[in-house]
Structure formats: structure tokens, C-alpha cells
Structure 1
Amino acid sequence: MKEFVAEIVSIDKLRHRNVAQLLGYCCHKGELLLVYDYMPNGSLDKYLYDQTRPSLDWARRFMIIKGVASGLLYLHEDWEHVVVHRDIKASNVLLDGELNGKLGDFGLVRLCQQESDPRTTRIIGTIGYLAPEFARKGKATTISDVFAFGVFLLEVAYGRRPSVIEAGEHVFLVDWVLENWKAGTDIATRDQRLGLEEERSVVEMEMVLKLGLLCSHPMPEARPSMRQVMQFLDGDKTLPELSPAYMSFSYPSLTQNQQYDDDCIVSISTSVATMSNSSLKAR
């Protein structure tokens, strides 16, 4: 309880237009609950997967992506402490009355002081968003948040969950996108509810797909920081070209004989594909 309250007191000081404002907490029927500003449009995942809801066009999705990136940059670099969210995903992006995206659900957040070690005794997060090194070592960092953000980018562009069961096996979105990239069908296999009639929209989506793959690279040192991500999204910096060597990896497989629920907190182990820094070549 002391740790919970101490963390809430710290989170309560966060102030950013793309970070959900924490109002307080309460204990209800033995559960500790966080109380945020009311978000009338709920969470982003409902607009991606609920066919009864109207689809978001690309301009709106791109605005939400930039908003979440801005909020995450604030948490990583612009606040007084480094904040590692550890559970970035569409269901944790809340939409206000004007459909602006706000990063919420800080139930898994970790405040990192310079002297602290963010390692935990168990791996917590959501299958499909977990960085390989986080799952293997149990150490959450800002760069493992970047991995999850990369998967989030692909999720928003394709309208496809980060992990699905097909023929009794987990199929990961990163693997699926890579296969379509190799086949040259990455744009064609986007969320079909997106028209992308304007040339600018096509260019933006291609950039987001490349950025999603770059952020979800299995080697941490190959991923950009969130400040670099914002520079890419704002058009202030050109994305590095993805070389054939980059495209040769496969997303690490999860431990066999495990049962997972995509919306549950789980413990897993995984291996990391061996990659060379030379797999990324600047234009």
C-alpha cells in the first residue's frame, strides 16, 4: 500500500495534454482503483476492432499516433523523473471528446531514479507488445517502451491485434507485417476501412509502417529514442532505410506450452534474434 500511494503521488504531478490526468485513487471491494478524467470516447481499441463503431480515418489516426508519441516523450525525457510506462497499447490510449489520444492506465508504470534498478521479480505486460530483452531479462526501460510503441504503430495502421491465434499458434503482428513487407503488400494489407485517397496519406502511412518496424527491432540499440520518433513524425528527420539484412530477422518465439490471454498480465521467457547494427543503413 505504501508503494502504491507513493507512486500515485508521483504520477499525480504529471501534466501533459496527451497524458491522461490522474485525479486520485480509491479502494473499492478490496481493489485499488485509479481515477482519471472522464474520456467520453473510451479507448482507441474499440474504434479499431468494434465493427459497430465508426472507423477513424487516417488523418485522425495519424493525429492520435503523434499525440501518444508526444506524451511518451514527456514521460521518458521531459518530466523531472524518467517514467517507464510498460504497457503501451491501443486499449490504454484514451480518447477525449474531440478524439485526441491520451496515454493512460499507469497501473504498470515504473518511476526510474538514477540510482534505481527497474528490474522486477516477474515480467508484466501484454503479449505481443513485450520487447524481447524485457521478456528475457525482466528489465523495463524506455527503449522497451519504444518497442511497444512500434507495435502500437503497426496496430493502428493495420487494425490488427498484436497477437492472434491461428491454427492453434500465436501469430505476431510484427512477423505478419514483415512478411507483407517482403512481398510488397504492406500497404495493400492495411486496415481496409482506410481509403488513403490522398497522396499525403499514403506517404504518411508508409512512414508509419517503416517507423513501426524500426521501433520494434529485436535489438534495443537499433531502436530510436522517442525524441527521434517525434522528429520522424514531424518530418524534421528522415527515416533510415531498412536494408535487406534488417528484413531477415523473425520475431522471437515465445516459450512453448504456455497459455496466454492477450489482455492479461503474464510471465514469459523468450530469446533474442542475433542482429548486427549494420542491418540499418542511413539514406
Structure 2
Amino acid sequence: MSALMVVMIVLMMVELGVAQPSNNNTNTNMPLRFYCGSNDAMSPTSFSRNLDSTFAQLKSQLSNNGVYYARAQNLENGDAVYGVAQCRKYLSEAQCLACFDVAVSGVESCGSANGANVFLDNCFLRYENYDQFYADPEGSLDGAVAPLGICGNQSTSQPITVFNQAVEELLSDIQVATPRTSDFYIASTRQVTSGNATVYAIGQCVENVSQAICKNCLSTAYNNLYSCLPADEGRAINVGCFMRYSEFPFFQDNQTINLIPFLGEGSSSKSGIIIGVSSAGLFLLILAAFSLWYPRWKKSKAAGEDTSDLQGAKSYSYQDLKLATNNFSEEYLVGKGGFGEVFKAIVDGGVVVAVKKLHVGSRAKKEFENETKLISNVRHRNLILQLGWCIDGPELLLVLEYMPQGSLDKFLWGEKRGQLNWKQRSDIIFGIARGLAHLHGEFHVKIIHRDIKSSNILLDNDFQPKIADFGLARFQPEDETHVSTRFAGTMGYTAPEYANRGHLSEKVDIYSFGIVALEVISGRKCSDVNYNGPRMEYLLDQAWQLYEKGAHVKLMDESVDPNEYEEENVMKIIEIALMCTQSPASLRPTMSEVVLMMSSGSMLGQRQISKPTFIDAHRRIHIGGS
């Protein structure tokens, strides 16, 4: 029996993790995200007085032992202030109050704005002039505030595969368990198998929201953190919840919460099967272990997955894909692009996928296989998931997740033109930025797309964008839109230093992103010419001319209802797009900087933007509308 107890203890340590004491403290009270509302109070004096009173009430509540969530309000003189503050539950009372003081100092810079919020590692503070956000934090939210993932800038020191698995399973369990707790808070750990490390993670929702809102918020947070891997830490910020993981301890070993009572069927935590020991304990333990191992083994064998570090990549049979597309017939054709045709297919007993047939013959098969295996490990909510490949037929084939809405260009100037509202457009621009930021700096290998354009942006059922064809530029065929073998790209979207000199860096994608952002806002194709004025203008020409006059909001697509957007927000995104199209390339921001600028609620201020350079399909150079 003593041997069995040892086995059980070891298993529980592997599954649940035992946080080790450490002198390293990765908590900070540095604001992670800060937002000021876009509207001012009616009476700044009375509003400021009400705000101070609300802050004092919040602090008084947090001063009580065991109180980590506070609400307060002051409604005098018509300038109402409703506030909420929340601390992480691993903090002492003094630590909570210290974080609250820093948060108050942070929002003071918002002046008379009638709403603001600030996130720190240890706490959260928000105030508004309405109270509906108590129950639904996103119910009346300004469009400029979006969920944000902040990834560490270092990769894990542990073996990537086992570290990623430990983080994914722990965050998945926290995502499920947190909405089921009475206070919407979980802190837990997980041991990294085959590594000498522990993963620490928490999930926390605003306490007064519903279970459904908490669940949805944490689902978004989980997706944001999933895209951080294999970074050694990550934070997901939303007005309704906060999620964080780290390779380093940020709470004590006695502050974890047992996940097991809050996990249902299908959770990743297996330790819940080890609850008690009887005379039949050893048999049950072996039986449970087999029941966990066998379905996974059977599934991986049936799917033909590579069980190496490159999980997710699968080699498909050419005959199977040929059968699934009815010999690549016209009735299954859903799109065409520079790489070739795309067909809808059903594989693996009912999974709907897109099969892309590449017009590159059978050359570079081994190189193609290696690269697609690598790309199959890139997982982000704004990147098309590559499910597999096929190299045993006359063409190279890719198997991708299927996007029912099709490509973005169809909604801008194609048959679905005018169907996108402003929120959808701003979400699309922000999603493209996040996807590129992941390719450039958050994946363990830097990937430069080289052909970002509206037809390479696909939309899911919620009109969230996914970047397609990343990592495959070297296989680009030469045709009328790809003018030379020096580069793989499309004129109009291509940065001048790449088109003219073949100089390739991530700044090439950033230039293309700026062009696409202008297309999304205007509903115009970058290569179309506007003859309405005294001279012909391409889209980038026109955007620059309007910006110089301070009238760049006029670039907005006329099909969008003016009541749907704030002019300042539109102008800000146009300015970011123009920053991305500057030359030389060193003037352009990184995609991570673009994400942060778009996440911030404030305007860009007096940032200097230089004249952009545009090269049309005939290789004519246009500089700043000249």
C-alpha cells in the first residue's frame, strides 16, 4: 500500500503541479493596458468630485480583510460615476491597496473623460458614467477597446512540446473551472512533464457578471494565450476577465485551488480519477491510466499524425483527396488564387476542409513537406490552420481549415460589397495586425508572408479575419501579377524596397498591411484610380492628400453608416496605415507596435508621418501623391 501511495502522490504532482517557493517575484504594478473614454463629462468639476468620492468608497471596501472586489457610485449633480475595482486573490490586503493606488494614479491622466479602465498584473480598475457594465462589461463598450494578449519576449527554457502541452492543458482546465466557482477565480499549477519546471496560471472574471459572460470572456482569453506559446509567459486582458500563465511563480504554493470539483467531462485534468484508495485501488489506477492513454494512441494512429515535435501535421493520400473533391471537379471549386485552385472537401469522416492545389508541379517536394510541417504548428485565431499536405500525386496539395465566408476582397469590391459595418471592418484590421504580429515575433521562427493582400484574408462566420498562404511565398508561381522571380508579391501591395531591390524583411508585410487597412476603410482596391479630382489618384495617393488636409475621415466607404463610427477612431487607424507605408522601411512601426497603438484608446498625437511610396502594377513610383 505504501508503494501505491507513492505512485499516487507522484502522479498528482505531475498532473496538478506543486508550486515551489521562490524568491523571484514576477508581479508588477506597472499598467499593462490603459484606456481613456472618448467623451468628456458635462461638468468636469462635479464629475471630478464624484470620481474622487467613488475611488474613496472603493478603497474603503478593499481595506476590509478578504475583500477583493468592490463597486461604488456617486450620482450628485448629474455627472454620475460608477466604479469597479478588483484585485487578484493571491494578494495580501496591503498589496491589493498598493495596486489600487497605482491604478488610480494611472487613470488620473484621463482628465475629465467620463470613462476609463486600467489593467495591472495585480488588479483592475474601471469607471463609467453608466452602470450597465456591472452585469455586462462589454455591453456598451467603445469600439477601440478590444481583447488583448500580451506575450513574453522570451521562449520557454523547457522542451517546447511538453511545455506547450502543460500550458494548454492547464489553461483549458482553468477556462472550464473558473466560471463554475462562486467568485469566478482560479489559481493553479501544472508540472512540465520531462522538465524541471512548473507552470503557474490564474483565471479571474469580474464577479458580478453572469456565468455565460465569464465563460465567453475566458474562451477569448484562452485563444489569446494559446497564440503566445512557446513564450515563457503570457497575459490575456479583457474588460470582463483576466488570464495569465508563467514559467515563473507569481503566487505562493499554498494559494492554489483544487480544480477537480469544477471540471466536468472532457477536461484535460486527469488527476480527478484519483480520489480514494481501497483494496482495489491499484487495479483502478491501472485501468484509469489505460483508459486515458489508449484513446489518444488510437486517435493518433487513425489520423496518421506525426508523433514527433511537429504535432498537427498530417500527410494525406492523393487518392483520398481526389475522391473527396470528385476529381477536383468544378462543382467543388470555391476559389482561385495565385497559387492555384481551392476546393471544398469532406475528410476524416465528416470534417469540412479546403484543399488547395498548387501549380508548382512536383518540384521541391521534400522542402515543401518540411515547410508545411513547420507551418502546421502555427496556431493563432487570425491565421488559417494548415491541417496537412499531400506530395504523392502530380500536384502538391494543402489541406486547410474551411472559411465559409470566403475572402475579404469580395466584401470590399466584389459581389458582397457593402455588407461590412464599421465594427466588422475595425475588427478585421485589428485581427490582421495580431496575426502578422504573431508571425513576425511570437512564433519561435520568424515568418514573413510576402504577399499580404485582401484576397489572402479569409473570414470566418463571425467575420473574424484569418491570414492565408503564409509561409508558402517561395512556391509562388510567376504570372501577370507577380512580375519577376526576384520577389513573390503583388504590385500595389508590395513595399518599394522589395519590388525594386529585392530587399526582404518583416517591414514588407507591414507596408502591405497598411495598404489593406486603407482598402478595408475605403472599400476601394489599391490599384483602382480615382479620376474625380484634377489628377488621377491611387488609393494611397488619395489617403495622403486627405491626411495633409486633416480630412482623412473622408476616405471612409460611403456604404458605412456614419452613426456607426467615431471619426477620431477612423482617422487614427488611417494614420496608423500611413505610418506603415512610409519609406524608408525603418520608419515603419513593428506589427506589435501597431497592435498596441490600435488597442490604445488615445489618439496618436503629433507623430510625424512621412510621405508614403506606392508602386503600381506598371512599376510607376508615386511618392506622397506626387
Shift of 1:186: 2.3
Shift of 1:271: 6.9
Given the alignment of the two structures, is residue 191 of structure 1 paired with residue 557 of structure 2, yes or no?
A: yes
Given the alignment of the two structures, is residue 99 of structure 1 paired with residue 463 of structure 2, yes or no?
A: yes
Cα 1:164/1:94, change in 2 over 3 Å: same
Given the alignment of the two structures, is residue 251 of structure 1 paired with residue 251 of structure 2, yes or no?
A: no
Task: Name the structure 2 match of 1:219.
Answer: 584
In the TM superposition, 1:110-149 aligns within 5 A as 122-149=486-513
5+ unaligned residues in a row in structure 1: which ranges? 111-119, 259-267, 275-283
Q: Distance in 2 between matches of 1:58 and 1:2?
A: 44
Cα 1:40/1:11, change in 2 over 3 Å: same
Shift of 1:146: 0.6
Given the alignment of the two structures, is residue 176 of structure 1 paired with residue 542 of structure 2, yes or no?
A: yes
Shift of 1:240: 5.3
Cα 1:42/1:252, change in 2 over 3 Å: closer
Shift of 1:80: 0.7
3-state SS in 2 of match to 1:94: strand
Task: Name the structure 2 match of 1:239.
Answer: 604
Task: Name the structure 1 match of 2:568.
Answer: 203
Cα 1:26/1:186, change in 2 over 3 Å: same
Q: Distance in 2 between matches of 1:239 and 1:12?
A: 37
TM-score by length of 2: 0.37
Backbone CA RMSD of aligned residues: 2.9
Contact kept in structure 1, 2:388 and 2:398, CA below 8 Å: yes
Which of 429, 437, 452 aligns to 1:88? It is: 452
Shift of 1:148: 0.6
Q: Distance in 1 between matches of 2:419 and 2:407?
A: 13
Which of 39, 43, 55 aligns to 2:403? It is: 39
In the TM superposition, 1:18-29 aligns within 5 A as 18-26=382-390
Contact kept in structure 2, 1:87 and 1:125, CA below 8 Å: yes
Cα 1:254/1:95, change in 2 over 3 Å: closer
Greater relative contact order structure (CA < 8 Å, 6+ sep): 1
3-state SS in 1 of match to 2:562: coil
Task: Name the structure 2 match of 1:60.
Answer: 424
Contact kept in structure 2, 1:45 and 1:91, CA below 8 Å: yes
Q: Which range moved further: 132-141 or 82-91?
A: 132-141
Q: Distance in 1 between matches of 2:590 and 2:537?
A: 27
3-state SS in 2 of match to 1:129: coil
- The code of the aligned residue for 2:435 comes to G
3-state SS in 2 of match to 1:25: strand
Q: Which range moved further: 184-193 or 61-70?
A: 184-193
Aligned length: 248
Contact kept in structure 1, 2:388 and 2:399, CA below 8 Å: yes
Q: Distance in 1 between matches of 2:390 and 2:511?
A: 32
Q: Deviations over 1:172-225 (max 9, x none)?
A: 321121122234442223211111315x53222111100010011121111101
Contact kept in structure 1, 2:412 and 2:418, CA below 8 Å: no
Cα 1:145/1:11, change in 2 over 3 Å: same
3-state SS in 1 of match to 2:396: strand
Shift of 1:92: 0.9
- The code of the aligned residue for 2:581 comes to S
Shift of 1:9: 1.0
Which of 144, 155, 159 aligns to 2:523? It is: 159
Cα 1:109/1:173, change in 2 over 3 Å: same
- The code of the aligned residue for 2:583 comes to P
3-state SS in 2 of match to 1:15: coil
Shift of 1:237: 6.9
- The code of the aligned residue for 1:26 comes to C
Q: Distance in 1 between matches of 2:544 and 2:559?
A: 21
Contact kept in structure 2, 1:58 and 1:201, CA below 8 Å: no
Q: Distance in 1 between matches of 2:537 and 2:603?
A: 31
3-state SS in 2 of match to 1:146: helix
Contact kept in structure 2, 1:22 and 1:36, CA below 8 Å: yes
Shift of 1:26: 3.1
- The code of the aligned residue for 1:148 comes to S
- The code of the aligned residue for 1:9 comes to K
Task: Name the structure 2 match of 1:115.
Answer: none
Given the alignment of the two structures, is residue 73 of structure 1 paired with residue 446 of structure 2, yes or no?
A: no
- The code of the aligned residue for 2:518 comes to L
Shift of 1:109: 4.1
Contact kept in structure 1, 2:527 and 2:616, CA below 8 Å: no
Contact kept in structure 1, 2:581 and 2:613, CA below 8 Å: no
Q: Distance in 2 between matches of 1:217 and 1:250?
A: 4
Q: Distance in 2 between matches of 1:183 and 1:106?
A: 37
- The code of the aligned residue for 2:445 comes to H
TM-score by length of 1: 0.77
Contact kept in structure 1, 2:521 and 2:557, CA below 8 Å: yes
3-state SS in 1 of match to 2:387: strand
Q: Distance in 2 between matches of 1:28 and 1:40?
A: 28
Cα 1:135/1:240, change in 2 over 3 Å: farther
Q: Deviations over 1:90-114 (max 9, x none)?
A: 111111122111111226447xxxx
Q: Which range moved further: 44-53 or 130-139?
A: 44-53
Q: Which range moved further: 44-53 or 222-231?
A: 44-53
- The code of the aligned residue for 1:7 comes to E
Shift of 1:53: 5.0
Q: Distance in 1 between matches of 2:540 and 2:418?
A: 26
CA radius of gyration, larger in: 2
Q: Deviations over 1:92-151 (max 9, x none)?
A: 1111122111111226447xxxxxxxxx96122011111111112213211111111111
Q: Deviations over 1:27-71 (max 9, x none)?
A: 598432322101110111111112445510000111111111111
